């Protein structure tokens, strides 16, 4: 007797595209259309110790399983038991490496690209082209990353620093994104794409961190030309609160919350 | 008589030179300076020397005070930790750079100057650290002018020039408590606040220097904006080892470090 076992085949989608075109935004849109995110998994290789997109997406979809760089094996093991798999392929990774990662699995390729980009390696690679933001990114750019986990950033300083980053004080920046813990315990997501209208900082749906230095990810990623990395690093450091200031702010926020007042 | 009023030069000699030339071309009879000769910019000694050599009546700014007495910023001074750190860097650099005779000159600057019905202060008659922003509560604004016993109050400190006329000077004051309270009404004559902007550290989105020409006969106020070779100042900032971000901010008319911009805030020190 022959027993045939039908296993459901997960829908694997690899999303690539220009820096800032909206890869993560597109993935979020797809997940929002699904009632239950529990059996959806997300992986974005190459982000190392600065998982900005992973942190943002995990805060929006708490049921989603998000895998970090060091969890590649667990991610691959999880694929067969998932309904849908989203792999975000950073612009800094070779498109040819996708096949190496997914071996013999069947997958669909989606490229999120600015509409004025008519001919690129993505066009030849993707099954589907999605019209993205009109980003001004080019190939000759540098990627700079910094981890600020454990630090609390003075929010007013962050606004000033962000203004300087996005207006060329540290080089020609085409893309910047970051997640920061601020004075009142909130975690803020900052997002900039050159050529696209600026948005306000987004408060992530995470609990306020009010017990000392935050034990969760925060950090910054900047893409551009002629980046003054030393100045970026120094200014980020200058925005960080001391232990005494963190304690003082956290006590103030706790008192306000105890009184039932809005912070 | 036409007078020129300048402020907030902040060690920017190129800007001062251009403004003095512009003043000369407008045949002003007298120049007044409302302080902040030093701080942030690369040429504190040259600026003080020029003001001294031209014998320009000058009152002390908060930066001049701090170079004499030591850093004494209050909560109003810096709206962020980053601005505070940059301010401290600039203070420490200027403190090392300034020559003893120039420090001595700054030490003898008066808090305010008076000429007829005109008074000159750096921040406000209340404090050199207080910002008289254009949207400041009219009652507070009027009180600040009345306290000087003058008609026109010239100030700087905010780095954004403006002229404000306080023509609705109907004041009602309640004195005492409960039934015994007495309401006193009085009318104030027309008063003006003239903020003369900044010569060396503009905050209006362009690198140009600003100052004011005032005609004491016609009471006409002219806000002047003067272009100058700001790139020279930017190059000197880098050359002298000041933070490069100061040069970038100067070139963008953003000041060297951001300032408080809350018009409801009243300095309580």
Whether A255 has a pLDDT exceeding 90, the answer reads yes
Number of domains in chain A: 2
Evaluate if pTM is beyond 0.90: no
CB contact under 8 A, B80 and A238: no
In a domain, A244, yes or no: yes
Residue of chain A with shortest Cα separation from B85? A238
Residue B131: inside a domain, yes or no? yes
Contact A231 B83 (CB under 8 A): no
- Whether residues A239 and B81 touch (CB distance < 8 A) is answered with yes
Shared domain for A20 and A81, answered yes or no, is yes
B266 assigned to some structural domain: no
- Asked if residue B245 is part of any domain, the answer here is yes
Q: Within an 8 Å CB–CB cutoff, is residue B245 touching chain A?
A: yes
Say if A222 falls within a structural domain.
yes
Asked if A156 and B248 come within 8 Å (Cβ–Cβ), the reply is no
Please give the sequence-ordered ranges of beta strands (E in DSSP) within chain A, or none if there are none: 11-17, 40-43, 65-67, 84-88, 108-113, 128-131, 142-147, 172-181, 187-193, 202-203, 219-225
* Contact criterion met (CB < 8 Å) for B248 and A157: no
Residues A99 and A182 in one domain: no
Q: Is the pLDDT of residue A194 over 50?
A: yes
Whether residues A74 and A40 fall in one domain: yes
Range of the domain at B23: 2-251
Interchain contact, A169 vs B85, CB within 8 Å: no
A140 — pLDDT class (breaks 50, 70, 90): confident
Within a domain: A2 = no
Q: Please determine, for residue A65, whether its predicted confidence score (pLDDT) is greater than 50.
A: yes
Cβ of A238 within 8 Å of Cβ of B85? The answer is yes
Q: Give the CATH number of the domain where residue A183 resides.
A: 3.30.1220.10
**A184 domain-assigned:** yes
Whether residues A127 and A163 share a domain: the answer is: no
Query: In terms of domains, do A124 and A147 share one?
Result: no
Q: Does residue B80 sit at the A interface (CB-CB below 8 Å)?
A: yes
- Same domain for A89 and A176? no
Identify whether residues A103 and A150 lie together within a single domain.
no
Contacts with A238 (C-beta within 8 Å, 6 or more apart), sequence order: A157, B81, B82, B85, B86
Contacts of A235 in chain B (CB under 8 A): 82, 245
Q: Angle, to 10 degrees, between the axis of helix A229-238 and the axis of helix B244-251?
A: 90
Q: What is the CATH number of the domain that holds B18?
A: 3.60.21.10
How far apart, in whole angstroms, are the C-alpha atoms of residue B269 and residue B128? 10
Q: Looking at the partner chain, which of B79, B249, B252 has a beta carbon nearest the beta carbon of A156?
A: B79
Six token digits for residue B230:
């700001």
Same domain, yes or no: A25 and A127: yes
Residues A238 and A171 in one domain: yes
Q: Is B143 on the interface with A (CB under 8 A)?
A: no
Only one residue has tokens 């597109």, namely: A26
For testing the chain B interface, which of A151, A155, A158, A160 should be mutated: the one with the most B CBs within 10 Å? A160
Q: Which helix (H) or strand (E) holds B142?
A: helix B138-146
Phi, psi torsion values for B242, nearest 5 degrees: -75, 160
Nearest to B208 by CA among B194, B198, B223: B198
**Whether A195 contacts A136, CB under 8 Å:** yes
Q: Which of A94, A111, A131 is the last residue of a domain?
A: A131
- With respect to residue B21, please indicate whether it lies within any of the assigned structural domains: yes
Q: Is the predicted pLDDT of residue B128 greater than 70, yes or no?
A: yes
Do A42 and A119 share a structural domain? yes
Give the C-alpha separation, B21 to A224, whole Å: 41
C-alpha dihedral sign at B5, B6, B8, B11: negative
Residue of B nearest to A241 (CA): B81
B85–A contact, CB cutoff 8 A: yes
Interface ipTM: 0.87
Domain end (from A78, A100, A131)? A131
Q: Which positions ≥6 away from A104 have C-beta within 8 Å?
A: none
Which domain, by its residues, includes A26?
Answer: 11-131
**Confidence (pLDDT) at A34:** 83
| A105-135: pLDDT as tens digits | 999 999 999 989 988 999 999 999 999 998 8
CB pairs under 8 A between A and B: 38
Q: Is there a domain that residue A263 lies in?
A: no
Kindly state whether residue A5 falls inside one of the protein's structural domains: no
Mean pLDDT of chain B, nearest integer: 90
**What is the count of structural domains for chain B?**
1
CATH of the domain at A43: 3.40.50.300
- Among A121-135, B215-229, B244-258, the range scoring the smallest mean pLDDT is B244-258
């Amino acid at each position: 007797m022959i027993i045939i076992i039908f296993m459901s085949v997960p829908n694997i989608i690899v999303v690539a595209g220009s820096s800032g075109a909206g890869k993560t935004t597109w993935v979020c849109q797809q997940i929002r259309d699904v009632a239950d995110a529990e059996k959806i998994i997300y992986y974005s290789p190459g982000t190392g110790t600065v998982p900005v997109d992973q942190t943002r997406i995990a805060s929006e979809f708490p049921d989603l399983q998000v895998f970090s760089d060091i969890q590649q094996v667990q991610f691959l093991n999880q694929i067969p038991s998932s309904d849908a798999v989203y792999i975000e392929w950073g612009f800094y990774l070779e498109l040819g490496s996708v096949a190496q990662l997914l071996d013999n699995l069947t997958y669909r390729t989606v490229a999120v690209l600015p509409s004025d980009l008519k001919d690129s390696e993505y066009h030849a690679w993707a099954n589907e082209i999605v019209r993205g933001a009109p980003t001004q990114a080019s190939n000759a750019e540098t990627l700079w990353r910094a981890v600020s986990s454990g630090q609390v950033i003075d929010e007013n300083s962050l606004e000033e620093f962000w203004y300087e980053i996005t207006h060329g004080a540290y080089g020609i920046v085409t893309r910047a994104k970051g997640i920061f813990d601020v004075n009142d315990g909130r975690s803020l997501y900052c997002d900039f794409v050159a050529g696209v209208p600026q948005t306000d900082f987004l408060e992530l749906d995470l609990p306020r961190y009010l017990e000392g230095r935050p034990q969760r990810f925060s950090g910054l990623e900047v893409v551009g030309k002629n980046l003054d990395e030393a100045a970026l690093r120094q200014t980020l450091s200058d925005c960080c609160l001391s232990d005494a200031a963190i304690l003082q702010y956290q006590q103030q926020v706790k008192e306000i919350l105890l009184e039932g007042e809005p912070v | 008589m036409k007078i020129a009023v300048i402020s907030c030069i902040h060690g920017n000699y190129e800007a001062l030179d251009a403004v003095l030339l512009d003043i000369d071309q407008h045949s002003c009879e007298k120049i007044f300076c409302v302080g902040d000769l030093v701080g942030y910019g690369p040429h504190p000694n040259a600026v003080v020397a020029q003001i001294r050599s031209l014998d320009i009546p000058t009152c002390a700014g908060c930066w001049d005070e701090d170079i004499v007495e030591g850093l004494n910023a209050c909560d109003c001074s810096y709206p962020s930790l980053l601005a505070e750190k940059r301010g401290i860097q600039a203070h420490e650099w200027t403190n090392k750079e300034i020559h003893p005779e120039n420090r001595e000159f700054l030490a003898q600057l008066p808090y305010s100057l008076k000429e007829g019905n005109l008074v000159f202060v750096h921040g406000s008659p209340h404090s050199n650290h207080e910002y008289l922003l254009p949207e400041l509560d009219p009652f507070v604004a009027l009180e600040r002018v009345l306290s000087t016993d003058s008609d026109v109050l010239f100030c700087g400190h905010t780095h954004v020039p403006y002229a404000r006329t306080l023509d609705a000077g109907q004041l009602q004051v309640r004195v005492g408590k409960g039934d015994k309270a007495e309401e006193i009404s009085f009318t104030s004559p027309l008063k003006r606040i003239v903020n003369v902007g900044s010569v060396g550290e503009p905050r209006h989105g362009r690198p140009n220097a600003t100052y004011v020409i005032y005609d004491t006969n016609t009471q006409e106020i002219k806000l002047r904006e003067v272009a100058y070779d700001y790139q020279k100042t930017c190059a000197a900032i880098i050359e002298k080892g000041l933070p490069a971000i100061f040069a970038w901010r100067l070139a963008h008319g953003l000041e060297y470090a951001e300032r408080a911009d809350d018009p409801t805030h009243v300095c309580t020190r």
